[in-house]
Chain A
């Protein structure tokens, strides 16, 4: 997997915009409620993540951080 989504579960309101925006259907509503009673999203197919950041771009609450693996140095 080239990319990774880090969810801030306390900030996420489970609005679902990221789920809709992700071209790989990586995200889904989790089953654990956060302190505010929302059900934050979870990466259910994390291995498919390429780090495109679509989910983070559409997130209204900045609940997602996106990471990408550094390209291997070609020896």
Chain B
């Protein structure tokens, strides 16, 4: 028997603390696998946010820096400017990157900061127990939108990758999801392209990944995958929203 799927050495042996069925784990795996497959692990410096992913520093085998809530991209900027030869990626949830850290996200894109931001969108604040976030859907019930998100009072979900893709300095923007093996494979491809854009110094790369939160959505893990597909995906522009032309990539 030949092993065809084993744990990547981009992750440590520390078991994940995430809730059963939470797809943060899948995204960590993909990120770590691509770091290893692209031979980036030794030069990689990851920046962890505050949120469910805030405890991921012990999961990645590479060096990790923990940032204040909303500031992962600013911290990543500082790391990259201090060590331009390193490979720098930031991890954030939707609250971290689209609410408190929105200015940091857009400003990094404006600068064409040569880092890669992985934006995990599960339309809710998970760690704090399920509050409304900028990407919560209209009508979606959370602990701070108990009657369902009210468009008049709190507007509509922010499609952050779409916004980022409008900014000149954003060289690669992809909006993907992890609700099935097929999508998981597509997400890995997007991460690979984003990492390659950073390595080629073409500018800012941003990968938004729709993810689930069974616990605070109040669903089973399998139901959560279905809800992601049927309720969330129609609300956000999916696919490669911005990519350099083949010519640009060659230069």
In the complex they form, do A and B come into direct contact, defined as C-beta atoms under 8 angstroms apart? yes
A interface residues, Cβ below 8 angstroms from B: 3-4, 10-11, 13-17, 19-21, 38, 51, 53-54, 56-62, 64-70
Contact present for B21 and A17 (CB under 8 Å): yes
B5 contacts the other chain (Cβ, under 8 Å)? yes
Given contacts A57-B26, A66-B4, 9 further A-B contacts (CB under 8 A): A15-B214, A19-B222, A60-B16, A60-B18, A60-B24, A60-B26, A61-B15, A67-B3, A68-B2
Contact present for A68 and B21 (CB under 8 Å): no
Contacts of A11 in B (CB 8 A): 15
Which of A4, A13, A62, A67 is B29 in contact with, Cβ under 8 Å?
A62
Contact present for B5 and A58 (CB under 8 Å): no
Q: How far is the CA of A69 from the CA of B4 in the complex (A)?
A: 10
B6 contacts the other chain (Cβ, under 8 Å)? yes
Q: Which has the most chain A C-beta neighbours within 10 Å: B24, B184, B220, B222?
A: B222
Q: How far is the CA of A51 from the CA of B225 in the complex (A)?
A: 23
Interface residues of B in 1-51 (CB under 8 A from A): 1-8, 11, 15-16, 18-26, 29
A-B contact count (CB 8 A): 81
Q: How far is the CA of A11 from the CA of B62 in the complex (A)?
A: 22
Q: How far is the CA of A20 from the CA of B221 in the complex (A)?
A: 10
Contacts of A10 in B (CB 8 A): 15
Contacts of A38 in B (CB 8 A): 20
Contacts of B178 in A (CB 8 A): 58
Contacts of B19 in A (CB 8 A): 13
Which 3 pairs, one residue from A and one from B, show the smallest C-beta to C-beta distance? Answer: A60-B25, A15-B21, A13-B20
Interface residues of B in 181-211 (CB under 8 A from A): 181, 184-185
Contact present for A58 and B7 (CB under 8 Å): no
Residue of B nearest to A38 (CB): B20
Residue of B nearest to A13 (CB): B20
B180 contacts the other chain (Cβ, under 8 Å)? yes
Which of B4, B7, B23, B185 is A60 in contact with, Cβ under 8 Å?
B23
Contacts of A60 in B (CB 8 A): 16, 18, 21-26, 29
Task: Output the least CB separation between A11 and chain B (Å).
Answer: 5
Contact present for B24 and A67 (CB under 8 Å): no
Contacts of B29 in A (CB 8 A): 60, 62
Contacts of B21 in A (CB 8 A): 13, 15-17, 60
Task: Output the least CB separation between A17 and chain B (Å).
Answer: 5
Contact present for A15 and B20 (CB under 8 Å): yes
